Structure 1
């Protein structure tokens, strides 16, 4: 079955990393410079982290335990935990 290009694009656009980059930009009001951008260095705080994790749960149906973020909070790590 051949799928239209637009439908294929939509499936690709829902990758965890892309969704997390979108949420990151919404929460921090700026995009991450790259996949290794540190959340707190980018202006995040504990309240914004809660908002970020709640949106990840809502949009990706994944719960990320904040304790799993002890090694750092960046888009790549969040996508790894949300996969």
Structure 2
């Protein structure tokens, strides 16, 4: 289960950076998954640090698209802040 959540986080980061690498300063996993304390009901908490020059609508669209693909693949998505 923990591996499953880490794989979702890894895929989110990879797909996000493929589309927006020049606008993303950092992507950080935090919370119970990052600490190795996750259980089946745990969220996958991800913090995205991005440029103030990024087109917010485009970034939101990319995040939504990536989360949709992850939901189709795994049945759950990260909580992105």
TM-score bin, normalised by smaller chain:
0.3 to 0.5
Instruction: Output the TM-score relative to the length of structure 2.
Output: 0.39
* Structure number having the greater helix percentage: 1
TM-score (norm 1): 0.39
**Which protein shows a greater Rg?**
1
